[in-house]
Amino acid sequence: MPASVLMLLTLLVLVLALFALLALGVVALARGATTQSEQQKRVAKEALEKLQQLAGSVAMEMGEHSLEVEQIASALQTEPENGEVLSAVARLMQVNQRMQEQLVSAKEKLHTQARQIESHAFEARTDALTQVANRRALDDAIARRIEEQQRCGATCCVLLLDVDHFKKFNDSYGHQAGDEVLRQVARALRQHANDDDLVARYGGEEFAIVFTAIMPSSRAAAERARAAIGAAKVRFEGRDLRVTASAGIAELQPGEDQATLLKRVDAALYASKKGGRNCLHWNDGYKNHLWKLDQKTAAKTSGQDDLSALIGMDWATDADKLPEAVSSAAAVLVSSKSVFVDDMIRRLAQVKRDRTPLCLILVQLDGFAQGIQKHGDEAASLVLRIAAQILNANLRDMDHVSRLGSDTFALLLPAAGLEDGTRCAERIRLAAEQCHLPDSVQGFLLRLTIGVVETDTGDDMQLFLQRGRNALQVAIDRGQGIYAQDVSGTLAKTHLAAHG
């Protein structure tokens, strides 16, 4: 088969793939219509329009290529001279080369748009505040479990949990404190759910978990999660706040529909509220029963869900050691640590489910502590703000940046591998080197040391962060500037250390 025909067939497959992805994006957009913000829907619509344009462009280029090949073939059928044959062959090679370049460009655009659609579809089923699944995703998960029970006898348990006296808490401490509590609750529930379980925000201060296990193990996990909420401290504006939660759980029974199951779960939750709150009741299909863990098991749960337990005590408090004037300089440009941690947990769950890559970049400002001592708080706050601006300028809309330590930023790059993260790190470091600081902070160096890692099989959040810290520490120790650590070695590029 001639190369040109193979090229045309390849392009045809590409166009079909484009339209298939386009249809997938439309479905995702439609399903998320009730939960997406207007901005999310607008961005998703723009991505779909770009796919349409790309499909049309490829179709047009394929038609032009076909026409040129036909013209060349027609010219060769008239018994041309040798020189004309060579000219026709050369022209055919140029046409195929141009088509190949257009094909490569189209594939790159296709991959970019496909990743954006995937990200938008995922976000359409995620609660924006707590980064757990939303009500639509919860309803779909329960419906799937009911279908699996009807098909093969599989079971599940559903938990409903309500934060006690949440309205009074909001009135006393404000809605921002209330939002931080809801994020903490979601974090505790995720920690006590398995990878196959679904954690969702049911609405307001109510949350749900769809457990894939039978009642005994699901009930124990539910109580550990509920008790952990009361044991954890919520750090807000220099104060340690606490809340408790009431919960109800029930196991799906044969032939039961979703409405009946949720009604039993809600009855168990009501029994916990009526019984004095801060407890768990389970429903056996007839009546509700109080459930408590033994004291030894409950003691193991105490305090383990604090933010410091997730990211390390030093990083949980390090940034707070800076004077408020310095610490707040970059606060408006980056996410808080708790929001960043929630997003990382959500993205890691997506990695396990969809096998999409995820990259972590840790950026340290070299000599920052010495700079504060030498040039003062005002200069330090300005440098911190400039650094945050440089980071944001080199990131995509879907990327996430936060400040974990007094001199360390963390960047999360969804759908990006190690090479993507390395290129981003190189852009950031080059931008910092070329940045001309204002006269008021002359002498305060803006040098960055960067560690880059990609998720590996079995990574949880703590392990992922630790590998990032290891890569950053190697870069610091070797004075390499950037160190990208692969799970099978080290990616060697400019400014990167070779790993033996």
CB atoms within 10 A of CB 418: 19
Contact 188, 123 (CB under 8 A): no
Does residue 247 sit in the same domain as residue 289? yes
> Per the structure block, which two tokens stand in for 216?
């005994």
Q: How much is the pTM?
A: 0.55
Q: Single out the residue in 90, 123, 156 at which a domain terminates.
A: 123
**Residue finishing a domain among 123, 147, 174:** 123
Q: Is 163 within 8 Å of 205 (Cβ atoms)?
A: yes
Asked whether the CA dihedral 207, 279, 262, 146 is positive or negative, the reply is positive
Q: Is residue 499 assigned to a domain?
A: no
| Distance from C-alpha of 173 to C-alpha of 160, rounded to nearest angstrom | 25
402-419: per-residue pLDDT in tens?
888 778 899 999 988 899
Determine the straight-line distance between the first and last CA of the chain, rounded to whole angstroms: 47
The 3-state DSSP composition of the chain as helix, strand, coil percent (nearest 5) reads: 60, 15, 25
Burial class (CB in 10 A: 0-12, 13-18, 19+), 13: exposed
Q: Which residue, of 277, 305, 333, is where some domain finishes?
A: 305
Residues 222, 277 within the same domain: yes
Domain count, the chain: 3
Instruction: Say whether both 323 and 298 belong to one domain.
Output: no
Backbone torsions φ then ψ of 203, nearest 5 degrees = 150, 135
User: Token match 């047009």: residue?
Assistant: 60
Q: Are residues 245 and 141 in the same domain?
A: yes
Residue 389 and residue 259 share a domain: no
Domain residue limits at 292: 135-305
Parts of the chain with a pLDDT under 50: 1-6, 8-9, 11-13, 15-16, 18-19, 21-24, 26-36, 297-305, 313, 316-320, 488-500
Which residues make Cβ contacts (< 8 Å) with residue 485, sequence separation at least 6? 451, 452, 453, 467, 470, 471, 474, 491, 499
- Tens digit of each residue's pLDDT (9 = 90 or more) over 13-62: 454 454 454 444 544 444 444 444 555 555 555 555 555 565 556 555 55
Do residues 250 and 143 share a domain?
yes
